[in-house]
Amino acid sequence: MQNKGNKSEVVKKVGKGNGCPHYKKCGGCHLQNMTYEEQLKFKQIKMIKLLGKFCHVKEIIGMENPLHYRCKVQAAFSKDKTGIISGVYQSSTHNIVPIDSCMIEDEKADEIIVTIRKLLKSFKLKPFDDKTMSGFLRHVLIRKGYYTGQIMVVLVTGSPVFPSCRSFINALVGRHPEITTVVQNVNGKFTSLVLGEKNITLFGNGYIEDTISDFVFRISPKSFYQVNPVMTNILYGKAIEYMNLTGQETVIDAYCGTGTIGILASKNAKQVIGVELNADAVKDAKFNAKQNLVENIDFYTADAGDFMVEMAKAGEKADVVIMDPPRAGSDKRFMDSVFTLSPERVVYVSCNPDTLARDLSYFVRNGYGVRRIQPVDMFPHTDHIETVVLLVKSKKDKH
């Protein structure tokens, strides 16, 4: 949850000289040598340099309080000469930087991780050692529903064996009654991935829920869900505004994840079609649509490019395409099929300004004009920038 305090105090606190004690070792927050205001200016200048040639870049929307915004927190566990440690991997290494509290992570999540570390000691449970592939706890993942307050703790262990499981969970939930579910995730592989395949629900129902606008979304241990809920609301709000829906449109939600944007758009569209590569995410998306009683939306598991090519071949039409690709951006195959489907509007949500700039050039060469560019600071203190862009089909378009 966010800290109390006015903006100028916050800006001072995270600025030069008063920054995070882990800043140099951790390497997660690249911009912490700047005050928050300087960070926003830095990002704005970067965006103007990259995207200013397409259209005016609106002023980046920053956070009122840019601390403790991450509602998804992960900690790796290990042992050193001081005993059991937990924290984050130093950038590009396998060394753990011990951390008890982080300025961008949810504070309750950090407290729970410290409790788990203490409980391990009293229950004589060992952290997992990936050199010998033995021991018990590898990672802890905590996810919190910002608006519902629900908290999920995922204990990632090297094997399904959990000595004194019941007493451990009772002790944990006893100390933190705000925990609503605890899941054991088994990951016995030699891998840099945090989560393994198998989930065992130990307490509660195995998932949490959070809300965006009037809708409720289920978040399971593996679901993709934006980590900064306050700014997600602003980002999705802009995307919906740029779609300018009247209730008559067919909308394609490409790279739809668990269907969040498409479900929000469904309220003001005739029909929404969501397409996503990850079958688990599509399962969640279908569940989310059902639980929100949304009937004008369908989800498909497919490569967004392939799917759109098929739609174009079948002569189908779309009025609006919303696309939210991963950091690598989109590809020509996908964009070519957008040009064939010829929607009036394309709303591009991007988490990487470099690939966005590349893709926008391709749109512009193919009959679309860039009308709005709105950067949103989803990840304060890091160098990441999220952007929503509105593209409109040019009148003299030949398609």
The only residue of 135, 145, 257, 375 in contact with ligand SAH, by rule CB under 6 A: 257
Q: Are 351 and 228 in contact (CB under 8 A)?
A: no
Beta strands in 255-307 (DSSP E): 271-276, 297-301
Q: Which of 15, 188, 237, 326 binds ligand SAH (CB under 6 A)?
A: 326
Q: Looking at 100, 130, 303, 316, which residue binds ligand SAH (CB under 6 A)?
A: 303
Q: Mask of contacts with ligand SAH, 210-249, x by CB under 6 A?
A: --------------x-x-----------------------
Query: Which of 278, 291, 340, 342 is in the footprint of ligand SAH by CB under 6 A?
Result: 278
List beta partners, residue 217.
Answer: 210
User: DSSP per residue over 141-181, as a string?
Assistant: EEEE-TTT--EEEEEEESSS--TTHHHHHHHHHHH-TTEEE
* Residue 256 interacting with ligand SAH (CB under 6 A): yes
Binding segment toward ligand SAH, per CB under 6 A, in 80-88, 206-214, 322-330, 379-387: 322-330
Positive or negative, the Cα torsion across 162, 164, 170, 172? negative
- Residue 209 binds ligand SAH (CB under 6 A): no
The order of strands in the sheet holding 345-350 is: 297-301, 271-276, 250-254, 320-323, 345-350, 386-393, 368-376
**Considering only residues 102, 294, 304, 391, which one is a binding residue for ligand SAH as defined by CB under 6 A?**
304
State the catalytic residues.
351
Q: Residue 255 or 368: which CB sits closer to ligand SAH?
A: 255
**Closer of 85 and 341 to ligand SAH (Cβ):** 341
CB closer to ligand SAH out of 277 and 392: 277
Helix/strand/coil for 187: coil
206 in Cβ contact with 198 (< 8 Å): no
- Secondary element (H or E) of residue 204: none
Which of 65, 181, 220, 260 is the binder for ligand SAH (CB under 6 A)?
Answer: 260
Residues that bind ligand SAH (CB under 6 A): 224, 226, 255-258, 260-261, 275-278, 281, 303-304, 324-326
